Structure 1
């Protein structure tokens, strides 16, 4: 690594990461979002020409107002100082329901309104057809999204060619799990089944790129405990995500170490086979320094210090946007999570404001590949709509490998 890269990393550590457009927008969301999410569907589904009987209008409006005031209150009790899991479940579920109903009220409702106007349907009948179509679509998507969120993820397998990878390491099997987000909904059994599926892949290297849980290590220990059963022929490695810094990051580092995982906190290890070497490095999440925890920061130069620059580098970094620094320093492959693939469509449009990739394999610069996982679990609302979870098996390929018979 060059002196320039070390200076850049040091400067980033000294001044911190500047707030992104998404972060600035997020500061306003607690004030704006509840009103938009509940008031807009209320108007479009109940008051935009439907002329429902008065009891239906009053009951429906009351439901929307309960959501408008109940959702923020439940989320504050669930995620604030009290940390009441039942309240978090209620608030998070209401958030997911509101997002889906809002989205399809605007998109599907608007489209159907245009179609029915063009066909000359009766005004009141037209408006009521739109309401039932939106509610039916939302109900189906929420039921399907709940099943998608709670199931054990399917395995996504792909070969990743690394031009600098030696022939001795060709076929190295790397399994990536990330964003497990153990939380208010007890997922201990789900966690055990995920680990069983990982073990069936017979990995050389298993990686967890952060956001293990929402809550402290002590509180979520039972859900995380199955991670201790994960097997790998070479190593199990872990880096922190941003959610660790909301709930005692050092406790999670210590627990993962206790469970037999190697926390790569701005350092690396070497994976050697057949006379060839792969540098496996990891950095703390980019939000680590702002957490105030001593010694926590994303420091790529420190992670690669002492590594032979001729060896290929596999880097674990929770957020895809770290790839700019990785590409500048010649990293071969970065593994990340964080985005959840958007989790509930069309939230992916907001994710793209903040991150350079949403999911899958992408190239950055002349050498660097980035693989972004859609995540193994889910955050907050227990739904995944058009963003399926995954366990990822990446098979590293060398250009010098022997041809298949």
Structure 2
């Protein structure tokens, strides 16, 4: 368990798109999540992780929250991530997690400013494609617990409503409950984290209680594929049957 948390696995998935044009066929998104820089993950480990992720040759790097977890190293951490921006054709995209809110969004915002980290805060960006454009959207984390459901729906609407229907839509969200709200907008792919996959598992099955509706791996809601990343960092320095991962998603012909 103490060794496994350092043994990152690479998981590959295909995202089928009907009548996909050649100019976006093969486009790939590399996902990292829940790095939790601080007590159990340092800057050197972050650099090694990014080096491994960039070597895959993906077009986009998506970091789905809980990257920053120690305000003393925010500036250095942002610089390390920025160093890899040129390794990804369409850049690095990031959305807030609950730990960024716990540490203070303003302090992290200042560190990100001036870097090439593209923050998606209930917003979207067109990244590629002409006949069938590819949009990356991202939502904030609904930190107000009593308003979670309302904010989840509102944030999803803000991020996705204005994206043309004739497009490929990819949503970055920290909490996996956004898989359901994004499915209402016929989103192709929702990349989430937050759960760490439970950090404990046996034969690929999480051993933790079913606190989350979506805990680990791939789910399908209608035509929407939703993925819950196992995380790269830790709540505690121990993993068993749930190694940290780099997840890769490639657009293919349906």
The TM-score with structure 2 as length reference comes to 0.87
Counterpart CA distance in 1 for 2:29 and 2:157 is 24
Residue correspondences, number = 247
* Aligned: 1:337 with 2:162: no
| Local SS of the residue matching 1:258 | coil
Tell me the distance in 2 between the aligned counterparts of 1:288 and 1:225. 30
Greater helix percent: which structure?
1
What does residue 126 of structure 1 align with? none
Task: Find the counterpart in structure 2 of residue 228 from structure 1.
Answer: 82
Partner of 2:141: 285
Q: Where in structure 2 are the equivalents of 1:323-402 lying within 5 Å?
A: 323-345=179-201, 348-350=206-208, 352-353=210-211, 355-364=212-221, 366-379=222-235, 381-399=236-254
Q: Which runs of 4+ in 1 moved over 6 A?
A: none
> How is 1:131-170 mapped onto 2 (pairs within 5 angstroms)?
145-149=1-5, 151=6, 153-163=8-18, 165-170=20-25
Structure 1 contact 188–223 (Cα < 8 Å) conserved: yes
- 8 Å Cα contact 1:186-1:223 kept in structure 2: no
Shift of 1:288: 5.8
The higher-RCO structure (CA 8 Å, 6+ apart) is 2
Q: Is the 8 A contact 2:230 2:242 kept in 1?
A: yes
Q: Could you tell me how far apart the structure 2 residues matched to 1:220 and 1:321 are?
A: 28
Contact 1:288 1:298 in 2 (8 A): no
Give the conservation status (yes or no) of the 8 Å contact 2:132–2:168: no
Q: CA deviation at 1:334?
A: 0.3
Radius of gyration: which is bigger?
Answer: 1
Counterpart Cα distance in 2 of 1:312 and 1:263: 19
Query: Are the counterparts in 2 of residues 361 and 371 from structure 1 also a CA contact under 8 Å?
Result: yes
In structure 1, how many angstroms separate the alpha carbons of the residues matched to 2:198 and 2:128?
A: 36
Residues 252 and 348 from structure 1, CA distance in 2 versus in 1: closer, same or farther, beyond 3 angstroms?
Answer: farther
Q: Secondary structure at the match of 1:190?
A: helix
- Measured at CA, do residues 300 and 262 of structure 1 come closer, stay the same or move farther in structure 2, by a change above 3 Å? same
Secondary structure of the equivalent of 1:352? coil
Separation (CA, whole Å) in 1 of partners of 2:74 and 2:40: 10
Deviations 1:52-106 (A, max 9, x none): xxxxxxxxxxxxxxxxxxxxxxxxxxxxxxxxxxxxxxxxxxxxxxxxxxxxxxx
Report the more deviating stretch, 232-241 or 186-195.
186-195
RMSD (Å), alpha carbons: 2.6
Give how far 1:260 is off.
1.1
Q: Is the 8 A contact 1:164 1:312 kept in 2?
A: no
Q: Give me the whole-angstrom Cα distance separating, in 2, the residues matched to 1:376 and 1:177.
A: 7
Task: Flag structure 2 segments of 5+ consecutive residues without an equivalent.
Answer: none
1:154-233 to 2 correspondences below 5 Å: 154-163=9-18, 165-185=20-40, 187-216=42-71, 218-230=72-84, 231-233=87-89
Q: CA deviation at 1:305?
A: 4.3
Equivalent residue for 2:172, pick from 316, 334, 343: 316
The residue aligned with 2:120 is: 264
Deviation at 1:259, TM superposition (A): 2.9
Relative to structure 1, is the Cα distance of residues 274 and 201 closer, same or farther in structure 2, using a 3 angstrom cutoff?
Answer: farther
How high is the TM-score relative to the length of structure 1? 0.56
CA distance in 2, matches of 1:165, 1:340: 32
Whether the 8 Å CA contact 1:214–1:244 is kept in 2: the answer is: yes
